[in-house]
Amino acid sequence: MVKGNQKRWFIFVLVAFFIYIFAAARPISEETILEPRWISSLESNHPIILNSTSAVEHGLLLPFSLGDRFGYVGDEGTYTINQSRSGYVSMSETHWAEYEAQPASIQVMNPWDETVLLIENTRGYPLFLDNHIYIVGSEQNSITAIGPRGEELWIHDFPAPVTCIDASGGFVLAGTLDGALELLNPSGRPVFPPFEPGGSRLTVILGCAISRDASRVAIVSGIDEQRFLVLEKTGDLYQVVYHEFLSNGFRRPVYINFVSNDSKVIYEREGGIGIYDISSRRSLKVDLNGEIVALDNSGEGNYLFVVTSQGPSQKSLITIRYPGIIVNEAPFLSERAFLTRRNTKLYLGSDSSIVSFELEKR
């Protein structure tokens, strides 16, 4: 009984914490607020409903990774998978796999914890992108596309280890340690010869992203100086339509993504983020304090959300209104953070729970 009371007290404090952080300072503009929907502890599978007026998307499952835990949570706050990792984990919205440092085989699972495929003699590591299954070679210098029965559809070898990868519409975009960018079509054939941005002392590709129709690609490349570039398809050719130096930048992989129905590119840069507008071909910088730990993968509805870290357990959820105005900053305590978004719903994870919000206009 005492243990049960302690658990209820813990949940009460957790709910009060999130309500204080997010509901007490809800307005993020004159018309839009973040309305808490539910909170779900990682220690149970009994979400607490905070607002039952929002429509639930049944069947929607979101992959999450928080510290040593990973799994899938539904739009109603219940988990189909919620477990501790014992090895390496690769996840997407449709597949996941846990594997060892040198796997002899890979068991591919779905979000309902059912076996989809067993891949034998893998000689690499699983990667799930764009509803497709790939194997990255053990030396990280090759990619193999896997078919629905585990067969090899195609293999592409790179001259150097792959440092970033993205996929859309069956196309695969990859950057390498030696500073080359390659785009492969659904058959695994190069769309254009390896593109080398150059212009830096070290020409590694640190981040790459591809639009949903594969008509544009964006990259962050180089160390001393770092560069942001956008390539656009004109006819059968891809040409650079935007270029910007980003000072010394980072010596690690960086966040970069197409958002807002592919109308913008969000990318990490020293001291904050860059927002590149496709239509105007202009970029602006939004200054942020701390290190970026999670970026909104949607960026729709005129808002972008970012989680930053100011210390080991000091996090902030930052709301940005386009073109690049910070309209709210909500601090919270957590060693780790998880952030994803589906349309008007925002999902934020901490060390102990995941909370869902609805973007509402009032």
Neighbours of 148 (CB within 10 A): 9
Closest CA to 136 of 148, 146, 147: 146
pTM of the model: 0.89
Q: What does the pLDDT look like over 187-199, one tens digit per residue?
A: 999 999 999 998 8
Q: Does the domain spanning 161-287 belong to CATH 1.10.3720.10? A: no
Contacts of 184 (CB under 8 A, 6+ apart): 143, 156, 171, 172, 173, 174, 190, 191
Q: What angle do CA 256, 197, 308 make, to 5 degrees?
A: 20
Q: What is the DSSP letter of 42?
A: T
What's residue 30's pLDDT?
Answer: 56
Give dist(CA 179, CA 253) in Å, integer.
13
Rg (CA), the chain: 21
> Residue 320's pLDDT is what?
96
Ordered by start, the domain boundaries in the chain are 1-59+288-362, 86-157, 161-287
On whether the 86-157 domain is CATH 2.40.10.480, my answer is: yes
What letter represents residue 192's amino acid?
F
Tell me if residue 124 falls in helix, strand or coil: strand
Determine how many CB atoms are found less than 10 A away from the CB of residue 295: 21
Counting as low any pLDDT under 50, the low residues of the chain are: 1-3, 5-10, 12-13, 16, 19-20, 22-25, 29
Instruction: Give 54's strand partners.
Output: none
Cα separation, 1 vs 253, in Å, equals 49
Q: How many CA atoms lie within 13 A of 269 on its CB side?
A: 23
